[in-house]
Amino acid sequence: MKEAYLEIVELDNGDIVLRPVGDDGEVTEALATLSISDDTKSYLKERYFELAKCMFHAGIDFIYSEEPVFGGEAEALDDMDLRPKILH
């Protein structure tokens, strides 16, 4: 993926997405989508968006960390580990 600035945006449907900033204001496809329940939003009030930002930042830090850790033991990641998992 080419270098791009990322933005965190709340969509009209309530989902919060991480996406590249498009050229000339074009809407780009989301890299990740987070849905926070209405109960959680009610409990957190306006802080739910801060929660989403922290979650996206943690994911980015994990992907770009030099030594990802799983279950207390360091394991190397390969391209297969970074592919999305699909459950049916």
Q: Per 3-state DSSP, what percentage of the chain is helix, strand, and coil (rounded to 5)?
A: 40, 20, 40
Instruction: Give a yes or no: residue 88 inside a domain.
Output: no
Q: Does the reported pTM lie above 0.75?
A: no
6 membership: H or E segment, kind and range: strand 6-10
- The one-letter code for the residue type at 22 is G
Cβ atoms within 10 Å, residue 48: 20
Tell me if 23 is assigned to some domain.
yes
The total number of structural domains that make up the chain: 1
* Residue 28: predicted pLDDT: 82
Per-residue pLDDT reduced to its tens digit, 59-72: 888 888 776 555 55
Q: How confident is the model at residue 88 (pLDDT cuts 50, 70, 90)?
A: very low
- Residue 26's pLDDT is what? 75
- Condensed to tens digits (0 to 9), the pLDDT of residues 10-62 reads 999 999 999 988 777 677 889 999 999 999 999 999 899 999 999 999 988 88
Expressed as residue numbers, the domain containing 49 is 6-82
